[in-house]
Amino acid sequence: MLQRLYVHNFRCLENFELNLAGMPSALLIGKNGTGKSTIAAALQVLQSIARGTNRMRDLAAPEPLLSPKDFARGRADVPIRFEVEVLLDQALYKYVLALELPRGFHELRVLEEQLSVDDRPIFLRQQAQVTFYDIPQAKEVKFLVDWHLAALPIVQEQSVGALHLFKTWLSQMVILSPIPALMKGVSSGETLEPKRDGSNFAQWFLGVLSRYPASYTRIEKYLKDLMPDLLDFLNKPIGADAKNLQVRFAQNQALLQVEFDDLSDGEKCFFLAALVLAANYAYGPLFCFWDEPDSYLSLSEVGLFAMALRKAFEERGQILVTSHNPEIIRKFSDENTFILNRKTHLEPTQIRSLSELRPSGDLIQALTLGDLWE
Amino acid sequence: MIDRYRPHVLVLPEDDANRQMANGFVLHPGVNSRTIQILDTAGGWASVVEYVKKDGNINHLRKFEQCRVVLLLDYDNQFPGRFDSICEKIPGDLRDRVYVLGVLSEPEELKSDLKKPFEKIGNALASECCRDVQEVWQHPLLRHNHGELVRLIQDVKPFLFGNQ
């Protein structure tokens, strides 16, 4: 479970701290441009590194996650800093990554990097110099790493241990801002690493079902609650390596087979949610960040959808969502709702818990009038 | 969407505090969340009364016979007067499907007394409903609900606290 995220000098986030300790689910709200999606970007930088994209210039394109232009207000003389504290198997993991852009450089380089468990270092790094602490063998190993590379995905333990556990957790974070039009039913290959826009949904679907076949029941149960006429879904081979996801509906004696691509945007989001819940159950606990899960849903579904997500993550894992939708906002409470605020584009994002700002009247009205923080 | 033709519960919270308690109740793993829906806050106990008087709401309840309504309000230390006053306004043919529950004074006092956020209180109340016990429900600010609670549990237990 993510306990704390700290970000400094990255876009609009300066000395920014999000504390989620003890919260299986939480909500971020705030006006446009206050930094909700930037939090997702910060998490995605760490996720991408754990997934193996550790060269700094590779984080700048094709998806612009991190580049020299991301220093807050162009202030390149102050490092960009990311810190996460995560509770896994009752141990507190802390990963720190600080990046700098010395004069004359065009690519970010690592100034500092470290991973510790319960305050015991696994590795420490200053620029190119890495010190790895082999705890079972009680020895230190020193080596050099290219200063444009994050060391996290390179460092390897002799046996599967704390480092592997943390890397796996970080790489399996589910960060979503789905674009249903990009979610296609055709897949070639499988994965457990969904993309933020949901464009590799079918590969993820296949990856979960092939490695955890019992997930089918969980996915089916969730979907049948939402679409009672759902019969089943199947992955039809189309050629040597590709498959195409199809969904079958039945009522009375009638049967309808629909290509996944032809489902509505909202229905695709139901499938995505079903997969998130199944994945969390199968190989979690997962951390999920879902940017505006209400975007494609009908008003009658939004609240139930939010509650179903919250409820599933009560049991294990953790979900952080953003929203402007009153129906979603009402499904959270003062203690797990955070409000982001930014006075002007020249000032950094501030964050406060709703319990500190509780308006005397109606919350939604206060948000509508924009006077919650005033 | 909740299936209106199957047994279900609509919860009308008077205010934000009651809404948060209702959220905590629905979040309990023993509660079947596809059979319960929390409506927008009414905005005061007088508005809760208005809800049961409105033709549209009455017609909805008459049309959907599987619908139950729980009115969640603050008694502001006016129990049983306020309870009786609300019950009087519920049409007789619907009275057995409308339930009135509330904190004797206001939820903030319960929160401060139990030293728990509203969600956790709601969750604890749901847990007791699932386990057929009454501890938090016996709190001095809640125990006056006993009659309505027994009636409600008897009615909704088969589907609300049923399988997930």
Q: What is the pLDDT of residue B164?
A: 45
Identify the structural domains of chain B with CATH numbers, from first to last. Answer: 8-160 (3.40.50)
pLDDT above 70 for B150: yes
**Residue B2 neighbours by CB under 8 Å, 6+ apart:** A304, B8, B34, B35, B36, B37
Query: Alpha-carbon distance B52 to A251, whole Å?
Result: 37
Are the Cβ atoms of A311 and B2 closer than 8 angstroms? Answer: no
Pairing type for strands A80-88 and A25-30 reads: unpaired
Three-class DSSP category at A250: strand
Q: Cβ–Cβ of A333/B117 closer than 8 Å?
A: yes
Residues of A in contact with B43 (CB under 8 A): 362
Closest chain A C-alpha to B113 CA, distance in angstroms: 17
pLDDT of residue A374: 65
Residue B107 exposed, middle or buried by CB count within 10 Å (0-12, 13-18, 19+): buried
Of B3, B20, B29, the CB nearest to A314: B29
pLDDT in tens, B56-91: 999 999 999 999 999 999 999 999 999 999 999 999
> What's the full length of chain A, in residues?
374
Cβ-count burial A150-181 (b if 16+ within 10 Å, e if not): bbbbebeeeeeebbebbbebbbbbbbbbbebe
CB-based contact, A316 to chain B, within 8 Å: no
Q: Is A229 on the interface with B (CB under 8 A)?
A: no
Q: Is A298 in the B-facing interface, judged by CB distances under 8 Å?
A: yes
- Of residues B37, B40, B119, nearest to A335 (C-beta): B119
CA-to-CA distance for A188 and A242, rounded, in angstroms? 4
Helix (H) / strand (E) element for B63: namely helix B55-63
Chain B: closest CA distance from residue A363 (Å): 8
- Whether pTM > 0.90 for this model: the answer is yes
- Residues B73, B85 contacting (CB under 8 angstroms): no
For residue A300, list chain B residues with Cβ-Cβ distance below 8 A.
Answer: 1
Rounded Cα gap, residues A82 and A111, in angstroms: 12
Chain A positions touching B1 (Cβ under 8 A) are 298, 300-301, 304
Any A CB within 8 A of B19 CB: yes
Q: Is B44 on the interface with A (CB under 8 A)?
A: no
Judging contacts by C-beta atoms under 8 Å, the chain B residues touching residue A308 are 33
Residue A361 pLDDT: 72
B27 in contact with chain A, both atoms CB, cutoff 8 A:
yes
Phi/psi of residue A322, each to 5°? -115, 155
Which residue has 């009615």 as its token pair?
Answer: B155
Q: Other C-beta atoms within 10 Å of A120: how many?
A: 10
Cβ-proximal residues to A11 (8 Å cutoff; 6+ apart), any chain: A35, A38, A41, A70, A72
pLDDT at A368: 79
Residue pLDDT tens, chain A, 374 long: 999 999 999 999 999 999 999 999 999 999 899 999 999 999 999 999 999 999 999 999 888 899 999 999 999 999 999 999 999 999 999 999 999 999 999 999 999 999 999 999 999 999 999 999 876 677 889 999 999 999 999 988 776 788 999 999 999 999 999 999 999 999 999 999 999 999 999 999 999 999 999 999 999 999 998 899 999 998 899 988 899 999 999 998 899 999 999 999 999 999 999 999 999 999 999 999 999 999 999 888 899 899 999 999 998 999 999 999 999 999 999 999 999 999 899 899 999 999 888 777 778 888 777 777 76
pLDDT, one tens digit per residue, over B29-53 is 999 998 999 999 998 888 998 998 8
> Nearest C-alpha of chain A: how many angstroms from B128?
18
Q: Quick check: B117 and A300 CB within 8 A?
A: no
**A314–chain B Cβ distance below 8 A for any pair:** yes
Give the integer Cα–Cα distance in Å for A7 and A322: 18
Give the three-class secondary structure for A130.
Answer: strand
B44: left (phi over 0), alpha (psi -120 to 50) or beta: left
Which residues in chain A are closer than 8 Å to B37, comparing Cβ atoms? Answer: 303-304
Touching check for A154 and chain B: CB below 8 Å?
A: no
Model ipTM? 0.92
DSSP B39: P
